[in-house]
Amino acid sequence: MSRNNTIVPIESKILVWARNRINMSLHEVADKLDKDIKTIENWEQGLELPTLAQLEKLSYSIYKVPLAVFFMPEPPEEPSIDRQFRTIPEQEITLLPSKLMLKIKEGQYLQEVLKDLFNGRNPSIEPIFKKLKTFNQKTIFKTAESIRKELVINKGIQIRFKDSTEAFKYYRNQIEKAGIFVFQQTLKDFCRGYSLYDDQFPVIVINSSENSDTGKNFTLFHELSHLLLNMGGLTNDYTYQSDNSEEILCNKLAANILVNDLELQKYEIVYENSSLEWEEKTLSILAKEHKVSQEVIPRKLLDLGLTSRSFYNTKRHEWQSQTYPKRKGSGNFYRNKLSKLGNYYTSIILSNLYTGRINSYQASEYLGLKINQIPQIEKLVFK
């Protein structure tokens, strides 16, 4: 009997678990397998069994879980998503698209890899999320100052950045030195980024398909703010308008990290402006100077009482209604892969491979590469 017709005995509840963990509907599964919904329902009810070939497709192409999981007596335990994203109502979490849920599961996988490689202990002597205590409305400015000092961010450094891309690389590197790994994923329009909390290995994931790195910079520090509150977060356009107290705190802290209040007020074009209205040119100059998105400066001016809520809302609406060309990757597979995983994470995998702590198969799994592709990314890391 060929593998296409081989029936394999499995627990039907594993099939239900695998589908529900990524919010995938029966219709989606049936469509991907080119089967009718009734067949999928029968599998999940234990009335029928899939063939080995069908199970492999479910495993590798659809649910993205190891084939061996389907032969377990009970579903494996995984960190709960709703416990991570506490600012999102539970009913909304169940509505997150399956493609986004798969990305989040990839983020959790990278988190588990880090725990394994470092034996459950963060490589930073004093991680920033342990060194800095949780903050509140009264301590935002002080916390932002502490973060800028910890990550070595100041006006002199920010002005010298060639562009927002160079700024993002610097911020990412500094945050990783401070004990928080930063990854990028192609999240399209699902969200701008997310973070996953852990008492040893919290991670931040940024949308690599953002149109501009200025947006990435704000998302990076917004998610860092979530982690300092001992929780994960998910950032999208609605996050910036949310009336959730924790989201408001994270927005304000991120803005204060990127743009220091005192330094902003010292600019001649700021203290000479006597109106609550601001020229587009002035806002653009300040945004370019700090390598931040257009929205950050008016937000700061509003917090400082230097503009009105109506002016801020008007400008924000204008910018949100603008359309931008879709960001294109470099076209180089290995550079894109390295950009998403980061030099730090990739170099750790390679170092463990060279010392024999992990084998080539494990390294390829951790990097998401074929074994014969590892030397290519090695050239980029250690060039």
**In whole angstroms, what is the distance from residue 368 CA to residue 362 CA?**
10
Say how far apart CA 270 and CA 274 lie, in whole Å.
9
Cβ atoms 204, 193 nearer than 8 A:
yes
69-105 pLDDT per residue, tens: 999 999 998 877 777 787 777 777 888 999 999 999 9
> Model-level pTM?
0.89
- Give domain 12-77's CATH number out of 3.30.10.20, 3.40.190.10, 3.40.50.880, 1.10.260.40: 1.10.260.40
Domain regions of the chain by residue span = 12-77, 101-260, 333-381
| Total Cβ atoms within 10 A of residue 217 | 28
- pLDDT for residue 111: 94
User: Do the beta carbons of residue 295 and residue 287 sit within 8 Å?
Assistant: no
Say what percent of the chain tops pLDDT 70: 93
For residue 292, the model assigns a pLDDT of 86
pLDDT of residue 237: 66
3-class DSSP state for residue 240? helix
Nearest to 207 by CA among 80, 103, 321, 89: 103
**Residue percentage of the chain with pLDDT more than 90:** 64
pLDDT digits (tens, 9 = 90+) for 335-368: 999 999 999 999 999 999 999 999 999 999 999 9
Structure tokens of 109?
Answer: 């996988």
